[in-house]
Copies of this chain bind each other. A is one copy, B any other.
Amino acid sequence: MRIIVTGGAGFLGRHLCAKMLSLGHEVLCVDNLLTGRRENIEEFEQNSAFRFFLHDVTTPFVLDGPVNAVVHMACPASPPDYLRYPIQTLEVGTIGTRNMLELARAKGARFLLTSTSEVYGDPTVNPQSEEYWGNVNPIGPRSVYDESKRASEALTMAYRRAHGLDTRIARIFNTYGPWMRPDDGRVISNFVMQALQGKELTIYGDGSQTRSFCYVTDLVEGLVRMLLAESDSGAAGASGSEWGINYPVNLGNPREEKVVDVARIITQMTGSSSPVKFHPLPTDDPKLRCPDISRARRLLRWEPIVSLEEGLTAVIKYFRKCLGS
């Protein structure tokens, strides 16, 4: 397959590029490097099956030759990133998504949108199944990300309904692993970097809020299965439990961890003596978030297999290397 991966120089994008290359596919990585990093993809640049395009997808991307799939991952994805780039975040999920849907349509390609558990907002049900409509503040500071992704999903479904495009939507929950940016502001990056540097571990709120953390190899395995799964026939009108592969699928680890416990585990694993410091909870921060992955199990025969301890071992090793220690 010849696939386009937007945001391919980001954390998740990098891993998807690596996986698709290892499976023998041709990968065209499109990234404007707003939050992605060239170093994430350096090792692929000698690979003749890989090409990098420095391009902002809010401008149409024109390309000769066939394309079998477009994976639209581009978007600032961590809270500090999307709060720093609020308008770009909305633009890539609206204008960018429209441009990539048009490209997929022009090429007759499959389209995979990487959406997010943030479409559930601060959920009033737990765990969240794909049927849940979410509880999102449309005008809060975080709305630049949440509403960008909700609009992306709406656009994707509209192209499926109006043009019969073969679309898929992955709703990705918290994911971690090597090649995260040390300064991306996510819980695990923060804690590991702080622990390794002997700084205070910063917990927002009282730490009793839970998160589910999926190790990146598990997540990418789920994405690849979504991308390669056979299309349903005419499922766009189906509803309820009959939802097929063209409807959103949660990808994440259903094991819930309290943020305060994650801090403790990381402190232990790094042998750090860093204390924990509690800060006020940011606006509209979700109290809990845990995927119901029944659909992924059923449609993709997928579930996470890497334990938090295994995953953290790899991340700690990676960040130690980043720090040169």
Give the interface of A toward B (CB within 8 A). Answer: 86-87, 90-91, 94-95, 98, 119, 121, 133-141, 143-144, 146-148, 150-151, 153-155, 157-159, 161-162, 169, 247-248
Contacts and interface: CB of A to CB of B under 8 A. Distances in A.
A154 B143 contact: yes
A150 B151 contact: yes
Nearest to A89: B158
Given A86-B158, A90-B98, A90-B151, 8 more contacts: A87-B159, A94-B94, A133-B136, A139-B154, A139-B247, A139-B248, A144-B154, A148-B151
6 A-B pairs with the lowest CB-CB distances in the bound complex, closest first: A94-B94, A147-B154, A151-B151, A143-B154, A86-B158, A138-B150
A135 B133 contact: yes
A147 B97 CA distance: 14
Nearest to A157: B139
Contact of A91 (B98, B134, B135, B248): B98
Given A121-B133, A133-B121, A161 B141 contact: yes
A154 B98 contact: no
A94 B91 CA distance: 8
Contacts of A158: 86-87, 90, 143-144
Nearest to A145: B154
A147 B143 CA distance: 12
A140 B151 CA distance: 12
Contacts of A135: 133, 135
A310 to B, nearest CB: 34
Contacts of A155: 87, 90, 94
5 contacts: A87-B162, A133-B137, A141-B161, A143-B153, A147-B153
